Amino acid sequence: MNGRLTPWDDARIHVSSEALIRGISVFEGIKGYWSADAKTFSLLNLHDHYVRLCQSALMVHLPFQSDYAGFERACITLVESLLVPGKDLWLRPTLFALEGSWGLDTVTDLTITAYSQEMTRPQPLVAGISTWQRPSDASQPARIKSAANYLVSRNARIDGRRHGYGEMVLLNPAGRVAEGTGSAILIVRNGQVITPPASEGCLESITVKITERICSVLGTPFVVRPIDKTELYIADEICFAGTLLELAQVKQMEFRTIAVPGPVIQPITDAFWRAVRCEQSIPGINLTPAYTV
């Protein structure tokens, strides 16, 4: 924060900043993984996250001067300070509007926080379909990874929790599948992995792109097309995909039980974990070394 390491309790923004009063901020989630031999810690597809952060900043008119080299150095500095042996790490770079009003004289700061995580795979989920909708590109574009976009996700997750659901599917204004509350969605039908395009109201997911590359290596058909709501009830397999959630299979979609592990998704998740643990090299899955024992 402010270009230097800052103690958690000293990280403050002004009560009148646009980051607070209008929710003007964009962010990324970046996951770091220990190698299987516990000798190297690396950040997954760091450059892709930087590019998407720059694109989000551009679309909400937030000045962002940091080049990639500076962004990488900042992330690695935080990793070196907070990394714990035997724990993975999730970084959250957030670009705030600190000064200015309605896009005039805007001053920003890039703040990066990080949180330790267990080195475990996600558990299968029970999911539901939310009555809350992902807004259209003309009102609140999902392509922008902004804090404001997660109000709908928050409401949907609170509603879902009341019914015992661990994740919720958001539909778009046309009633088709958009994404989860904090991750993209994949379904399997007839051996094909299917995911909606960004035009359906979902974030341009880096984890989905990684999944597509894994499918190419495995020879699994990967299709980008709209998904109807009813396909969630007849899909052979369903999986949520995101940086924080990683690849989490769905064991129950509302009233319907789905067998897990799935024969199509499971090999994909196995390949993902081998890649992030430096046990297998997959083109397009890029690991930036941040710490070496």
The closest alpha carbon to 224, from 195, 248, 258, belongs to 195
Burial of 139 (0-12, 13-18, 19+ CB in 10 A): exposed
Contact 257, 195 (CB under 8 A): no
Please report the sign of the dihedral spanned by the C-alpha atoms of residue 9, residue 15, residue 18, residue 24: positive
The answer to whether the predicted template modeling score (pTM) of the entire model surpasses 0.75 is yes
pLDDT number for residue 283: 92
Please report the sign of the dihedral spanned by the C-alpha atoms of residue 168, residue 169, residue 170, residue 171: negative
pLDDT in tens, 76-114: 999 999 999 999 999 999 999 999 999 999 999 999 999
**pLDDT, mean of each 10-residue run, the chain (293 residues):** 92 91 95 97 98 97 95 97 96 95 94 97 98 94 94 97 96 98 97 97 98 98 98 98 97 97 98 98 96 95
pLDDT number for residue 87: 97
pLDDT number for residue 150: 94
Whole-angstrom distance, CA of residue 180 vs CA of residue 94: 21
Whole-number percent of the chain with pLDDT over 70 = 100
Instruction: Considering only the C-alpha atoms of the chain, give the largest distance between any 2 of them, rounded to a whole number of Å.
Output: 55
pLDDT number for residue 215: 98
pLDDT number for residue 279: 97
Task: Enumerate domains of the chain plus CATH numbers.
Answer: 8-118 (3.30.470.10), 125-276 (3.20.10.10)
pLDDT in tens, 221-261: 999 999 999 999 999 999 999 999 999 999 999 999 999 99
